[in-house]
Structure 1
Amino acid sequence: MTGATSPSVVTVIRPRRARTLVEWGELWAYRDLLYFLTWRDIKVRYKQTALGAAWAVLQPLLTMVVFSIFFGRLAGIDPGGVPYPVFAFAALVPWTYFANAVTQASNSLVQQESVLTKVYFPRVIVPTAAVLAGLVDVSIAFVVLVGMMLAYGVLPTAAVLALPLLVLFAALTALSVALWLSALNVRYRDVRYTLPFIVQVWLFASPVAYPSSLVPEAWRPVYGLNPMVGVVDGFRWALLGDVPAPGVSFWVSVAVVLLLLVGGLAYFRRMERSFADAV
């Protein structure tokens, strides 16, 4: 006697519809992966280098020397009563972090090709880890900046208490740009070739070698559309004592970063389903 055959069961797996820009519960579940990717990026950055972590200081320090010669002495730019080397280095610390973080994070998905095509995890972790890893460089360079401030007799005011928020602002600025560029880089590999040029132009479009006060008052809201204007002006205000508080351009930069971040998360979320195929 033949028993009745049970009906076959077919299970169809479909991707979830994204209801939010960030799945916080999922990110929390993968927090250990974020930690290990960040730590790996820190170790790889200085692996097999003769100077190691000293590169975190040398890059902004040498740039400061060049700026001091050409902009401070030859061009005679007035930093507003602050010694020009300190004025420049206070801007180069967040700028160097931003430039390196954006460069590393923009290429991070392509560099993780073997992982993206085999294992599932929230893809946003990859560029985020690259951005977080750069904060170590900020800490190292900040020690040198404090030494320079003491040597030149520059003392901060109570505004220095806002520095942690400004570091967070710099990290969000780097992440907001990196989300766009990393997703675009998976689809269009031209990004990696144009990125060095973009960063170079962006440096001189930001108030790193000169104060924002050189920009006419009527144009400062437009100038603030560059998010690094708010970051650099904020760092100088928090650290250099007599520097005026950031004006309307700072708040324009804050608004631009928030828009870039929300738009970047939405674009990254929409594109990440095709990362494994396109990378």
Structure 2
Amino acid sequence: MKSEPIIIEPVNGWQVINWRELRDYRDLFRFLIDRDIKVLYKQTVLGFGWAVLRPLLSMIIFTVIFGNLAQVDSDGVPYAIFSYVALVPWLYFSTALSSSALSLVNNTDMLTKIYFPRLVFPMTPVVSKLVDFAVSFVIVFALMAWFRIHPTIGMIYLPLLVALMMLTAAGLGLWFAAMSVQYRDVKHAMPFLTQILMYAAPVVWSGSLIAERFGQTGRYLFGLYPMVGVIEGFRSALLGTVPMPWDMIAIGAVSALVLFVTGLFYFRRMESTFADVA
């Protein structure tokens, strides 16, 4: 008895996620996450030590330049831990965004030969980079002990901030992943874009400067950049330098949700052309 052929048709129009299809390919998703984690540190001497070394070296450089030479205000705590607490979520965001944005063009062999939900590619780094994030986050507690900074009750909000961080990386990653297939300029622009986004976020400086110079309206507009609320929230939760910026977090959450939803629709809209263009 002959089995009926399976016909695979491209998705047309602006449609929502096919959750059933993603569930059917969950093993592939897990495989790609595992591969992403292993390949990154394959044949390296330090291995996962790079997840600690990168933020530590950045912290030292920022402390010398911005903390000692430029005398940037650090909200009453040592500049070293002030910058490191911001670098941990920032490095996750920048690496997840860059990897997600280039995930399709870096996997053209799979993209053009077999069918599977293309959405798994840009979403893989969003999950796999959490390993680096977790490793580098452990050093925060070592620095807090060194500088004798006690944890605050605000730490219970860290899962919410991590979720917002992931949502932001996923939303922008979807946009740039779809664009990178059509416009290869994205690959060359990503290093510059992430650098601009870092200095636009309060990584090396305090977010309180915006309200001081541009007032409350300027602060709210600044909060449209979701990583602002994430970074300031991390500092509040771990260091207690400022009250938890719920207004900035709320504004950033709405902005991140818009980025994610529109990114999904744009990705699905362009999905049928990926194999041809790639």
CA distance in 1, matches of 2:98, 2:166: 13
d(CA) in 2 for partners of 1:127, 1:241: 34
Q: Is the 8 A contact 1:175 1:261 kept in 2?
A: yes
8 Å Cα contact 1:222-1:249 kept in structure 2: no
Question: CA offset at residue 159 of structure 1?
Answer: 1.0
The one of 10, 23, 32 aligned to 2:18: 23
Give the distance between the partners of 1:183 and 1:149, measured in 2 at CA: 41
Larger relative contact order (CA 8 Å, sep ≥ 6): 2
CA-to-partner distance for each residue in 1:34-60, whole Å, 9 max, x for gaps? 111000000010012222111111111
C-alpha distance after superposition, 1:187-221 (max 9, x if no partner): 00000101101111111100000110011333101
The answer to whether the Cα contact below 8 Å between 2:11 and 2:271 also exists between their aligned partners in 1 is: no
Matched-pair contact (CA < 8 Å) for 1:220–1:248: no
How big is each residue's C-alpha offset from its partner over 1:88-135, in whole Å with a ceiling of 9 and x where there is no partner? 100000000111111111111111111111111111111111111100
2:163 paired with 1:168: yes
Q: What are the within-5 Å matches in structure 2 for residues 250-261 of structure 1?
A: 250-261=249-260
Please point out which of 100, 114, 127 is paired with 2:109: 114
Query: Structure 2: 5+ residue runs without aligned partners?
Result: none
Q: Displacement, 1:170? A: 0.9
2:101 and 2:122 in contact (8 A); partners too = yes
Q: In structure 1, what residue type is equivalent to 2:85?
A: A
2:47 to 45, 52, 62: 52
Superposed, 1:18-97 pairs within 5 Å as 20-97=15-92
Task: Tell me whether 163-172 or 197-206 shows the greater mean CA deviation.
Answer: 163-172
Distance 1:12 1:172 in 2: 33
Equivalent pair of 1:71/1:77 in contact (CA under 8 Å): yes
Unaligned runs of 5+ residues in structure 1 are 1-9
Which sits farther off after the overlay, 98-107 or 260-269? 98-107
Map of 2:154 onto structure 1: 159
1:235 match: 234
Distance 1:12 1:35, change over 3 A: closer
CA distance in 2, matches of 1:166, 1:143: 16
Write the distance in 2 (CA, Å) between the matches of 1:25 and 1:239.
39
Q: What's the RMSD between the two structures over aligned residues?
A: 1.8
Rg larger for = 1
Amino acid at match of 2:220: P
C-alpha change, 1:16 and 1:123, in structure 2 (3 Å) is closer
Whole-Å Cα distance in 1 between the matches of residues 7 and 243 of structure 2? 61
Question: Corresponding residue for 1:210?
Answer: 205
The letter for the 2-side match of 1:66 is I
Q: Taking structure 2 as the reference length, what is the TM-score of the superposition?
A: 0.92
Distance in 1 (CA, whole Å) between partners of 2:130 and 2:11 is 34
Output the CA distance in 1 between the equivalents of 2:229 and 2:15. 28
Query: In the TM superposition, what whole-angstrom CA distance separates every residue of 1:218-273 from its partner, at most 9, and x where no partner exists?
Result: 31011112221111112112211343211533322111101000000000000111
| 1:23 CA displacement | 1.3
Residue range with higher mean Cα deviation, 188-197 or 208-217: 208-217
Tell me which stretches of 4 or more aligned residues in structure 1 moved more than 3 Å. 10-20
The one-letter amino acid paired with 1:210 is W
Distance 1:81 1:89 in 2: 15
- Quick check: 2:33–2:124 contact (8 Å CA) kept in 1? yes
Q: Which residue of 1 aligns with 2:221?
A: 222
Single out whichever of 41-50 and 20-29 deviates more from structure 2. Answer: 20-29
**Is the 1:107–1:192 contact (alpha carbons within 8 Å) kept by the matching residues of 2?**
yes
1:17: how far off? 5.0
